[in-house]
Chains A and B, each alone.
Chain A
Amino acid sequence: MPDDIRVLIRSNLDIVKARQEGRALAARTGFSATDVTLIATAISELARNIVSYARQGEIVLGVVESANAKGVTIISRDSGPGIRSIDDAMRDGYSTSGGLGLGLPGVRRLVDEFIIESVLGRGTVVRVTKWLR
Chain B
Amino acid sequence: MEVPILKQGRYLIATIQAALSDEDLLQFRRALLDRVIQFRSRGVVVDVTALDVMDSFATRTLRDITYMIRLRGADTVIVGIQPEVAFAMVQLGLTLEGVATALDLEEGLAHLEQRARSSS
Q: A residues near B, CB below 8 A?
A: 12-13, 15-16, 19-20, 23, 33-34, 36-38, 40-41, 44-45, 48, 92, 99-100, 102-103, 105-107, 109-110
Count of chain B residues with a beta carbon within 8 Å of a chain A beta carbon: 23
Q: A37-B53, A48-B57 are in contact. Are A12 and B92 (CB under 8 A)?
A: no
Verify if B85 is at the interface (C-beta below 8 Å from A). yes
Q: Would B87 and A15 count as touching, CB distance under 8 A?
A: no
B contact residues around A109 at 8 Å (CB): 91-93
Q: Would B93 and A106 count as touching, CB distance under 8 A?
A: yes
Q: B residues near A, CB below 8 A?
A: 19-23, 52-57, 60, 82-85, 87-89, 91-94
Query: Which of B20, B54, B57 has the most CB atoms of chain A within a 10 A radius of its CB?
Result: B57
Q: Would A38 and B56 count as touching, CB distance under 8 A?
A: no
Chain B residue nearest to A32 (CB atoms) is B84
The 4 closest A-B pairs by CB, nearest first: A12-B22, A106-B92, A44-B55, A37-B84
Q: 17 A-B pairs, CB-CB below 8 angstroms?
A: A12-B21, A12-B23, A15-B21, A15-B22, A16-B21, A20-B19, A23-B52, A34-B87, A37-B52, A37-B53, A45-B55, A45-B56, A48-B55, A100-B94, A103-B56, A105-B93, A106-B93
Contacts between chains A and B (CB distance < 8 A), count: 70
Q: Would B19 and A16 count as touching, CB distance under 8 A?
A: yes
Q: Would B22 and A102 count as touching, CB distance under 8 A?
A: no
Shortest C-beta distance, A51 to chain B (Å), equals: 8
Q: Would B84 and A110 count as touching, CB distance under 8 A?
A: no
How far does the alpha carbon of A38 sit from the alpha carbon of B91 in the complex, in Å? 9
Shortest C-beta distance, A79 to chain B (Å), equals: 22
Given contacts A41-B53, A48-B57, A100-B56, list 6 more A-B pairs with CB under 8 A. A12-B21, A19-B53, A41-B54, A99-B56, A106-B91, A106-B93
B contact residues around A37 at 8 Å (CB): 52-53, 82, 84-85, 87-88
